[in-house]
Amino acid sequence: ETGVTQSPTHLIKTRGQQVTLRCSSQSGHNTVSWYQQALGQGPQFIFQYYREEENGRGNFPPRFSGLQFPNYSSELNVNALELDDSALYLCASSWGQLNEQFFGPGTRLTVL
Amino acid sequence: DQQVKQNSPSLSVQEGRISILNCDYTNSMFDYFLWYKKYPAEGPTFLISISSIKDKNEDGRFTVFLNKSAKHLSLHIVPSQPGDSAVYFCAARGNQAGTALIFGKGTTLSVSS
């Protein structure tokens, strides 16, 4: 059974640019959640996708957007990058919206 | 305002002794609580959970206690092992679909041999 994978591992962008992060959910999982973890903080919920629809969103601006594909993999897109967007971005998958979430290793984004 | 608080940034324990990690929450709508463990360069790994209808849940060396009236939960690790050294996150959520998992800031546990 393949776990949650994320790509890329690390990424460096400059302010104002756009970035796309990718996540492959664990086999059999239909729900993907994205989190942002700033240094010294716990993960903060960005949004959740269930069967290709966004069904929950945290306190993040619209420039954070996402997609979920028919195979339940997912993308997180961030437009107009700001310095404060520098963080570890975590993807988690689950079977169903309320079940245990399994996390990927994360993508470390640095905005210069 | 933090809805889930882990007030101890770090904890040091000797191998074989008990580790107690604490967590407080403010939102009375939370009804499910989880502990995750995180090693550097890895994502958080689920450790143990507890529903609000229970006050204790055990899994091997790990026990979680929930005190709803105090809005407090704790994770006990007995006996502690050097491999337990990691960052521990407390998390909570409500029972609505799409509801966020709210994390604390984490406690770094160091177990010395």
Give the chain B residue nearest A4 (alpha carbons).
B43
Q: For A68-96, b where at least 16 C-beta lie within 10 A, e where not — what string?
A: beeebbbbbebeebeeebbbbbbbbbbee
Residue A96 pLDDT class (50, 70, 90 cuts): confident
The two tokens of residue B42 are 């890895």
Round to whole Å and give the CA distance between A64 and A19: 10
* Chain B residues whose beta carbon lies within 8 Å of the beta carbon of residue A102: 46
Residue A92 pLDDT class (50, 70, 90 cuts): very high
Interface test with chain B among A45, A93, A97, by most B beta carbons within 10 Å:
A45
Tens-place pLDDT, residues B10-36: 999 999 999 999 999 999 999 999 999
- The rounded mean pLDDT for chain B is 94
Say if the Cβ atoms of B105 and A101 lie within 8 Å. no
Tens-place pLDDT, residues A9-19: 999 999 999 99
